[in-house]
A and B are shown apart, each in its own frame.
Chain A
């Protein structure tokens, strides 16, 4: 049966489309406009000029350096959180006794700690161990604050593994380690993917920890770079918009080629 058309909802959806696309249009059109054309026509004028100079100006600056820094920090954060959360989740799901329950409670509680509220002590801790203004100084807190959600995603995936499979491994005389490598990790692949996307997005978009824990250009990340461009480029609007577009490239690629993984990662829900 064909549903009747819903005019009210249709109208609302078109209004919303306008609201969503105006800034998107401004970003794309602004990035390829000349500075003069942009200032004269405003953010939503019909395109009157086309130039890629703005991208050249951004790439000639320190942007690539920021991009590299963000990439290194993102990859390290994802790997560190994964390596630590995998065996931990294995204990939560398969371990016996108070330890596994206690560990799970600890991380449920951790989920409620707002990372913004600990930037002052984090500054103190990271300075005290001599990691201020380094990659590691950003990676460690970012990875730590992705642990609770990582454990949640991984455990919900591992709980789906049936007992028969564990028993079959046990009958073969497999040790805990062998079961982990041969059974748990391969069957956790979907949740591992979700977790990598989720943590990757957070690290990639991270602003606060880098803002408070770094200062030099050598370790500056893209988000902070964009922020400083406001002051650095002043009224060079096309360059700012070009930088915004460049900063979104990895996510646009994910969106184009792995939408399902991206959505699952955004939601932070087990990859089913």
Chain B
């Protein structure tokens, strides 16, 4: 009762009470927390890239020294090429397989549902666990290549060769992430209207024709979503590489994020590590922005228009 009386006396408050809308102050704790632990570090990394810091004490302002080192270091362009190469290989393997499997699993058949639930299993393991399991599987002495060397030849140290290490990384990525992308495609295929296929059937289109003329175009938005996940993951992820190959043999699988980690937490060159981090942030954000812009994903055109 009392609240109502006050409200009657003050029309402004009365309106606020009537609509029951939250004031902006409701957002303050969350926004402040996010700013402190996500946006502040973003600023700090730029600051640190202009300093020399060994991890202890205070960072010393040294201007462009770290950046000059960065541009002189020939391992940096090398790491960028390795990262991009792995990314392209990952996309070429994962996208088609995930799209095909997802389309297949979207069918109503019982056996497909059973198999799809087995395909799901890698999603139950953490990245660390997966990398550790594959490390054992590829072990030069007790792993699969070692036991198969009578059959296929080689020394058994597949992961110790430059190409072998790169192939292993792409393979492990496929094992870990295709189930996820498959789920995306499965859901998307199920939401394609049946009338499209019925119409195609009347026109006499076969299964292959249906896939390329109906399913794939209808999956456009899902393909772009998948691509963004792969690109962002490929440009920033490094736990798998760290555990599986440690960037080796030599530096043949040292991607840019791994190089950043080594510079900072192994060599204690936090300034240069920060400069690499800034480079990484710029590249990753630009690429994902470009991807959304080029594909028109930000406009989110519906593939259902005209149906």
Interface residues of A (CB under 8 A from B): 3-4, 6, 9, 12-13, 16-17, 19-24, 26-27, 30, 38-39, 41-44, 84-85, 87-88, 90-92, 94-97, 99-100, 103, 106-107, 110, 112-125, 140-141, 143-145, 147-148, 151, 166, 169-170, 173-176, 178-180, 204-205, 207-208, 212, 222-224, 226-227, 229-230, 235, 237, 240-241, 244, 247-248, 251-252, 255, 263, 266-267
* A162 → B minimal CB distance (Å): 14
Assess A120 versus B100: contact at CB under 8 Å? Given A23-B137, A95-B22: no
Verify B261–A178 contact, CB threshold 8 A.
no
Main secondary structure of the interface of A (DSSP, over half): helix
A103 and B184 alpha carbons, distance in the complex (Å):
29
3 closest residue pairs by CB, A with B: A144-B37, A99-B24, A88-B30
Verify A170–B19 contact, CB threshold 8 A.
yes
A29 and B38 alpha carbons, distance in the complex (Å):
43
Verify B27–A103 contact, CB threshold 8 A.
yes
Interface residues of B (CB under 8 A from A): 3-4, 7, 16-24, 26-27, 29-31, 33-34, 36-45, 48, 53, 55, 59, 97, 100-101, 103-105, 107, 109, 112, 115, 118-129, 132-137, 142-144, 146-147, 175, 179-180, 183-184, 187, 207, 232, 235-239, 243, 257, 260-261, 264-265, 270, 273-274, 277, 280-281, 284-285, 288-289
Assess A17 versus B118: contact at CB under 8 Å? Given A95-B21, A118-B277, A240-B136: yes
A173 and B31 alpha carbons, distance in the complex (Å):
29
Q: Which residue of B lies closest to A251 (CB)?
A: B124
Residues in A with CB closer than 8 Å to B39 are 110
A208 and B265 alpha carbons, distance in the complex (Å):
12
* A39 → B minimal CB distance (Å): 5
A9, A43, A222: the one contacting B137 at CB < 8 Å is A43
Assess A166 versus B20: contact at CB under 8 Å? Given A9-B104, A120-B270: yes
Assess A173 versus B133: contact at CB under 8 Å? Given A87-B27, A88-B31, A121-B42: no
Count the A-B residue pairs with Cβ separation under 8 angstroms: how many? 275
A169 and B20 alpha carbons, distance in the complex (Å):
8
Residues in A with CB closer than 8 Å to B24 are 91, 95, 97, 99-100
Assess A176 versus B27: contact at CB under 8 Å? Given A23-B137, A114-B280, A205-B128: no
Verify A12–B128 contact, CB threshold 8 A.
no
Assess A144 versus B38: contact at CB under 8 Å? Given A117-B284, A166-B20: yes
B123, B129, B270: the one contacting A244 at CB < 8 Å is B129
Verify A26–B137 contact, CB threshold 8 A.
yes
Residues in A with CB closer than 8 Å to B19 are 166, 170
B41, B119, B129, B175: the one contacting A125 at CB < 8 Å is B41
Verify A84–B29 contact, CB threshold 8 A.
yes
Verify A118–B115 contact, CB threshold 8 A.
no
14 A-B residue pairs with CB within 8 Å:
A16-B101, A23-B133, A42-B142, A43-B147, A106-B34, A114-B284, A117-B260, A118-B38, A122-B37, A125-B37, A141-B41, A174-B20, A176-B23, A251-B123
Residues in A with CB closer than 8 Å to B284 are 112, 114, 117
* A43 → B minimal CB distance (Å): 5
A207 and B261 alpha carbons, distance in the complex (Å):
13
* B138 → A minimal CB distance (Å): 9
